[in-house]
Amino acid sequence: MMSAVQQQMPSECRFWRRRNFVRQFKSLKKPAFFHIRSSNVYLVAATRENVNASMAFQFLFALVEVFKGYFGGAFEEEAVRENFPLVYELLDEVMDFGYPQSCSVDLLKTFIMQEGQQLDPGRALVAASLAPAQVTGAVSWRREGIKYRKNEVFLDVVENVNLLMSSKGTVLKSDVTGEIVMKTYLSGMPECKFGLNDKLMMQGEGKKGGSGSIEMEDVSFHQCVKLGKFDSDKAVTFIPPDGEFVLMKYRVSDNINLPFKVSPIVKELGRTRLEINVKVKAQYSSVTGLNVIVRIPLPPNTAKVTTTAAAGKAKYEPETSELVWRMRKFPGDTEYALSGEVEMSARIEDKKPWSRPPISMEFQVPMLAASGLHVRFLKIYEKSNYNTIKWVRYISKNGQYLNRI
């Protein structure tokens, strides 16, 4: 027999779509529903209490990542149908009496094995004994007894640069969305600590930053971070999970070092010809950009394109109506130019003027932090006092990097 919640949900819930996800909160007289969509599967949470909506959505998205971890990266209807027993077992572990529990895939895999995955008896006994301590312990994300012959820590500062620039060279909008990704291969139960810029401020602190200061917005941390210590000395202190994880996410919208400046000039010579001149200048020094791609939109009735590029190769792609300029390497403090002529077919149906979509860029610049974020130190504390090899890397990549023409 269907419950009251199940009976009301089809008639009362209305969905709206946004890209690959659907989010909805529908309040009824008694139950309330939260739901998301991943691929062709809907996940629905129901409650009769006035719960935190953000927590409910966070739990649903975490549940998607759990299923992806068990289904090989794909969470679709077919995977759910073929793994019903596993799905029920996972749901039983990630929530008890309506309260979310651990959603760590690595932790769940220590005592919930995938179908066909067999452990030797000795390892199975060890996993069974460790699981309860991890689930109920203060450090649920890391088990005890981890050992490595070589202790290493990799800290990667990965930043996506977003830009919207006018045709006159005025920055209309710019920001950096970044994350600090860590890979830890450390023995025992170590405590890690690293410090960021001296002039680091959080959003809402009420201070006005001067030159060289960084104001971080929308900051979020992994659950392993000790937030009290970060508030007091701006140092990130944590006991890391084993392996790779995202430690921190942030956004910076002021004092951004834009990696490239694009100067486009597009002239319409009558109805059937265009003249293009595009200059790209690297605004960084002592490093080299990699896999730089400049996508220059052209009218859909383009018939022929003739180009001359100072570096790399340029090719017209009729499928997307774009002139694509590719450069494998782009040294710092360098400027390259591309010029060309475009011939268009004169069609009677082409009455609307060309809308002039913006030029977009793709790039990667290793050892560059566009936000100015800098890791001052990285320390590892462990009772056995072993030596640790530490690596700190930076990379700036394109987000939506657009220049109007």
CA 398 → CA 136, 156, 215, 330, distances in Å? 41, 16, 21, 14
Q: How far apart are CA 303 and CA 72, in angstroms?
A: 45
pTM, entire model:
0.73
Q: What is the pLDDT of residue 138?
A: 63
Q: Hey, is 312 helix, strand or coil?
A: coil
pLDDT in single tens digits along all 405 residues of the chain: 344 444 444 444 444 344 444 445 454 457 888 989 988 889 999 888 888 888 889 899 989 988 888 888 888 888 888 888 888 888 888 888 888 888 877 778 777 776 433 334 444 444 445 555 555 556 778 888 899 999 999 999 999 999 999 988 899 999 999 999 999 999 999 999 999 887 777 765 655 555 557 888 989 999 899 988 888 777 899 999 998 999 999 999 988 999 999 999 999 888 888 999 999 999 999 999 999 999 999 998 889 999 999 999 999 999 999 999 999 999 999 999 999 999 988 765 666 778 899 999 999 999 999 999 999 999 999 999 999 999 999 999 999 999 998
What is residue 180's predicted lDDT score, i.e. its pLDDT? 96
- pLDDT of the residue at 98: 84
Token readout for 292 is 């730089």
Give the whole-angstrom CA distance, residue 338 versus residue 325: 8
Note the pLDDT of residue 393. 95
**Residue 173 β-bridge partners:** 164
Residues in a beta bridge with 191: 381
3-state per-residue secondary structure call for 325-389: EEEEEEECCCEEEEEEEEEECCCCCCCCCCCCCCEEEEEEEECCCCCCCCCCEEEEECCCCCCCE
**What secondary structure does DSSP assign to 110-124, as a single string?**
TTSPPTT----HHHH
